Amino acid sequence: MAFTIGALSGSLAGFANTTYGLTIGLPLLAAGEGAFFALLAIVIAPLVEEHVKLLALVVLRAEEKASYPPRRWLLLGALAGAGFGVAEAVFYWQAILGFSFELANLNLLFRILVTVPMHALTATATGFGYGLARLTGSNVPLARGLVVAILIHATYNGLQVAKSFGVFG
């Protein structure tokens, strides 16, 4: 269930990324497409996507009346993140497919091997924080988990953006 909800949340994230990207980042287009896409990838996507993956856990708790220890929420977070990552990988595969079958398949392979585990890892941090928050009654662990997830995601995306701009040669 967590995997499926995580996968479905990818649609919401795509809509939110586009909406926030256009409203917040549109002025950056004057500075060039690079600045716009860097803002979208490094700031907006991590903020939006990590909160959206958390929604999978909130829905699961509400619908199933789930009361689990933090370790179980950690695992459910990983599943939600993996589901999100797979949905995102398929979305990009479909988007690239019209241009190049080989490139689409290479991108899909990369995303399955690297990006899906990154999404699972970040949602693991959020899931554990969510579980601790439910256990302690304090939202501080959840906020810490989200911050860790956002920082990991932003760092990953930042490295990808830097690579695409030729920073690493």
In the chain, domain spans: 2-164
Where is pLDDT greater, at 33 or 14?
Answer: 33
pLDDT over 90, % of the chain: 58
Q: Residue 13's pLDDT is what?
A: 61
Tokens of residue 142, six digits: 């959840």
Does the pLDDT value for residue 128 go beyond 90? yes
What per-residue confidence (pLDDT) applies to 2?
63
Q: What confidence tens digit (pLDDT) does each residue in 15-51 have?
A: 555 555 555 556 666 666 777 788 889 998 999 999 9
CA separation for the pair 30, 20 (Å, rounded): 17
Q: What is the chain's mean pLDDT, rounded? A: 86
In angstroms, the Cα distances linking 73 to 81, 83, 110 are 12, 15, 27
Q: The pTM is what?
A: 0.85
